[in-house]
Structure 1
Amino acid sequence: MARPRSFDEQQVLNAVRDQFWDAGYAATSLEDLMRVSGLGKGSLYAAFGDKRQLFLRALRAYTDDNHRRLREALAEAPRALDALRMLLEAPVDDSGGMRRGCLLANSTSELGNADPEVLDHAHRAYETSTKLIGDCVARAQREGDLPAEADPIELARALLAAQQGLVFMSRTGLDTATLTATARSLAARLLPDHSGA
């Protein structure tokens, strides 16, 4: 009989995700994966497959978690306009956590030209994010805070591009005050309050 697994699968996925996130795919070795997971090669490959399969699984889990958190954050805000502004301010992080950038964007930059599966995953992930943000834009329009004639998907793409730009700028070491001012400037231009309040 096969022995039951004696490790926490989610913990292992989180550890290897962080390794890929910090070092990138190419610079992460099998030894790195064994070190951070605490598993031997046989156990690691038996549970998750080879390095590429493990990376794709960690990337999908990261994306699923991001979409879950985005969905919750957009839905929980009392007004949709506040949620959209929060989206732009999210990359501004005093703790330095965003200095790592976005694992999906990092991975797409590194592997997108060489790995069609990574590129396809990134495309679908950004389309999902755009749809979630677009739904929030439509809500802000219904609440009277954004002009009704604006195309929700076009504005959502602009907001996502702005947010990803801020994430990238944070990776360059730009100071928090400058990032905050940039985020507020983007919010003022992309999300002017039309409620008259």
Structure 2
Amino acid sequence: MARPRQFDEDAVLRAVCDQFWDAGYAATSLQDLMRVSNLGKGSLYAAFGDKHELFLRVLRRYVASLDRMLRRSIDSAPNAVEALRSFVMMPVGDPEGVAARRGCLLANSTTELAAADPVVAAEARQAYEGMTAVLADGVRRAQAQGDMGTSADPVGTARALLAAQQGLTFMGRTGMDVTTLEATARSLAARLLPA
């Protein structure tokens, strides 16, 4: 009879996520994963599979959380256009620029792995298409609320918003000062979501 797990799976996945997020996939060793999870190699592999399987599980969990957060933000905002502006501004959300320098696990992983790992590339495409659909719903709602012109293509606008936000994320990873990054974000939001 198998013994019950003696660890908090959510806590392990959060710690492993932070490790991959901060160091990247290639620079994260099995020893790093064992250290942050407080699990031995056998326990780690038995519970989560190899490093690649564990990474995919963490990435999928991150994407699901991001999707829920974005949907909640769009759906609960009194004005959809404000939620869309907040999405563009997300990389500059903290005054110290920590989020900007850390980037987005999905964006970081896509940059590092998608060209050589078809599974990660497929996960990223699916995630970005899902985000595009949520943003397009927000654009349609903003149009219905009279805050955006009806001639704008919701899907095209959603892709532009996503590209702008991800571009800001990449610029933040370079260490660009948060003041410049914020000014760039405001400029993009004004062009894509005119008042």
TM-score when scaled to structure 1?
Answer: 0.95
- The partner residue of 2:129 within 123, 127, 130 is 127
Structure 1 residue 174, shift from structure 2 partner: 1.4
Deviation at 1:168, TM superposition (A): 1.0
Partner of 1:43: 43
Q: Distance between the aligned counterparts of 2:49 and 2:109, measured in 1?
A: 19
2:173 maps to 171
Please point out which of 106, 109, 127 is paired with 1:107: 109
The 2-side partners of 1:90 and 1:113 are apart by: 26
1:17-62 CA deviation, whole Å, 9 max, x = no partner?
1111111111111000000000000000000001110000000001
Moved more, 121-130 or 69-78: 69-78
Structure 2 partner of 1:181 = 183
Structure 1, unaligned stretches of length 5 or more? none
- Cα distance, 1:107 vs. partner? 1.0
In the alignment, residue 38 of structure 2 is paired with which amino acid?
Answer: G
Report how many residues are paired. 193
Aligned equivalent of 1:141? 143
Deviation at 1:182, TM superposition (A): 1.0
**Are 1:66 and 2:66 an aligned pair?**
yes
Residue 87 of structure 1 is matched in structure 2 by 87
Where does structure 1 differ by over 6 angstroms across 4 or more consecutive aligned residues?
Answer: none
3-state SS of 1:91 partner: helix
Q: Deviation of residue 97 (structure 1)?
A: 2.6
Distance 1:182 1:62 in 2: 26
Q: Distance in 2 between matches of 1:184 and 1:171?
A: 18
Q: Secondary structure at the match of 1:25?
A: coil
In the aligned structure 1, how far is the partner of 2:106 from the partner of 2:23?
A: 13
Consecutive unaligned residues in structure 2, runs of 5 or more:
none
- The residue type equivalent to 1:85 in the other structure is R
- Distance in 1 of aligned mates of 2:126 and 2:107: 13
User: How far did residue 173 of structure 1 move?
Assistant: 1.4
Aligned to 2:157: 155
| Equivalent AA in structure 2 for residue 81 of structure 1 | V
Deviations 1:158-192 (A, max 9, x none): 00000001111111111221111111111111111
What is the Cα deviation at residue 98 of structure 1?
Answer: 3.0
Q: Tell me the SS of whatever aligns to 1:148.
A: coil
Secondary structure at 2:20's aligned position in 1? helix
